[in-house]
Amino acid sequence: MRYDSPLAAVGNTPLVCLPRLSPSEDVRIWAKLEDRNPTGSIKDRPALHMVEQAEKDGRLTPGCTILEPTSGNTGISLAMAAKLKGYRIVCVMPENTSQERRDLLAMWGAEIISSPAAGGSNTAVRVAKELSAEHPDWVMLYQYG
């Protein structure tokens, strides 16, 4: 298939029948190959939905900055959507998050703010909420709540 944008490919992943896993001939088991999404993650679907819902609600408009606490895949998917839709994105993540995840976020143009490793994602959420209060023009989509 051909798409004009990676965003159009989100969710349009193959559905494959797995007959050998079926307990009987009357049962058909299907698998949705979500690793075929643009970032290779099932998180592309909810991330794109979050961005599009914020646009629909009027919270996210051209020139806005997206702010999101994350420890990985959802942040990467949000960074992809932000980049392709022309938004700046700032991700807050624990300082002990893997370099691979940081590199993927950077590849999609995300700015990364590290939060203390102690407390994990909860600390990243706290830091993001503090940043949101300091920057009322930033839009926190908030995957956790």
Q: pLDDT (tens digit, 9 = 90+) per residue, 32-53? A: 999 999 999 999 999 999 999 9
Hey, which residues does 68 pair with through a beta bridge?
91
- Of the candidates 48, 67, 56, which has an alpha carbon nearest to the alpha carbon of residue 137? 67
Q: Give the residue-averaged pLDDT of 62-72.
A: 94
What is the pTM for the complete model shown? 0.91
Structurally, at CATH architecture level, domain 44-140 sits in 3-Layer(aba) Sandwich (3.40)
> Residue 143: what pLDDT?
84
State how far the alpha carbon of 129 is from the alpha carbons of 60, 78, 122, 144, in Å.
Answer: 17, 18, 11, 12
Residue ranges, CATH 3.40.50.1100, the chain = 44-140
Neighbours of 112 (CB within 10 A): 18
Active site residues: 43
Separation between Cα atoms, residue 123 and residue 36, nearest integer Å: 32
> pLDDT tens digits for 95-109?
999 999 999 999 999
What is the pLDDT confidence band of residue 128, given thresholds at 50, 70 and 90? very high
Q: Give the residue-averaged pLDDT of 79-94.
A: 98
Q: Quote the tokens at residue 61.
A: 């408009």
> Residue 145: what pLDDT?
74
Using the predicted structure, report yes or no on whether residue 70 has a pLDDT greater than 80: yes
Question: In whole numbers, what is the pLDDT of the chain averaged over residues?
Answer: 95
